[in-house]
Amino acid sequence: MTGEESLRPQSLMLTFLGDQVLGRDVCVYSGSVIDVFARAGIGEQATRSTLTRMVGRDLLRRQREGRRMYFGLTERSEAVLRDGEQRIWQAGAVNRRWDGTWTLLGFSLPESWQRQRHDLRSRLTWSGFGPLFNGLWIAPGEADVSALVAELGLSAHVKVFRAHADTGMDIGQMIEETWELSDLAGRYEGFGRRWQAWEDDLPDADDALVLRLRLQTEWLQIVRRDPRLPVEHLPDDWPAEQAEKTFRTVHERLSPLVRDASERLLDLVPARPQA
């Protein structure tokens, strides 16, 4: 399965909203969304279902204008999109500013709490942690997990510390044993192979909008899986930097075409204050 094939409609929708709606105080016509997503190979019914589900999850709000239905952001979706924006454009894929600090998180849960244990491990992995030992997880830098732990109702069962490695400890080996680096490296390499051709070629103007949606969605999925380990302790041929250069180059080349296509294809109206 290619990276493009694995992109879910909701992931593409969030990218679309981040591109076209975030920070502009506008709502977008459902017909415009259906048209753009059809160009991405997603049928009208799947697009409508995605819009409805996202309204139900408080990720979108509806605004009627005459007979037309428009969709705008909620506080929740704005927070999600700002986080993605920060992850792509500010944090980046290569961590060169690590100060030697690690966050250690220890937990001890009753044997019968299998679901809670699974949920905690999944959320920790998503937040950049790796399992140092069974009940002791570690992440680079000062990771704030207080909200995550509180949301799971596990504050009484979790202890969090800041730490530095002892002199002489092989941090590179610890990283190899704790995180699945080969899988992450493969994702970066695959991204580079898929998108390198677009560093030199340009699509038709209307195709650029969908192409950049796929580019950003795929890139965000990769960098969200990346715990941003300190680059000085990663293999010398770590592919994140080259992949990021490809991402930024292609994004920059597509952007003028996307601006033109957006003006032609999208029906936007000012967002009204919600009652």
Residues near 208 by beta carbon (within 8 Å), at least 6 away in sequence: 202, 254, 257, 258, 261
pLDDT at 7: 83
Q: Over 60: is that where the pLDDT of 119 sits?
A: yes
Tell me the per-residue pLDDT of 183-234, one tens digit each, with 9 for 90 and over: 999 999 999 999 999 999 889 888 999 999 999 999 999 999 999 999 999 9
Three-class secondary structure of residue 130 per DSSP? strand
Q: Which of 233, 231, 255, 250 is nearest to 241 (CA)?
A: 231
Going from N- to C-terminal start, the domains of the chain cover 9-78, 101-164, 177-264
Largest CA distance in the chain: 70
Q: Is 4 a residue whose pLDDT tops 50?
A: no
Confidence of residue 166 (pLDDT cuts 50, 70, 90): very high
Q: How far apart are CA 234 and CA 158, in angstroms?
A: 29
If you average pLDDT over residues 36-55, what whole number do you get?
96
Residues 154 and 120: beta-carbon distance below 8 Å: yes
pLDDT band at 1 (very low <50, low <70, confident <90, very high): very low
Mean pLDDT of the chain: 93
Residue 35 has pLDDT above 90, yes or no: yes
What is the DSSP-derived secondary structure letter of residue 57? Answer: T
Which residue would you say has higher pLDDT here, 2 or 98?
Answer: 98
pTM: 0.89
CATH of 9-78, one of 3.40.50.150, 1.10.10.10, 3.40.50.300, 3.10.129.10: 1.10.10.10
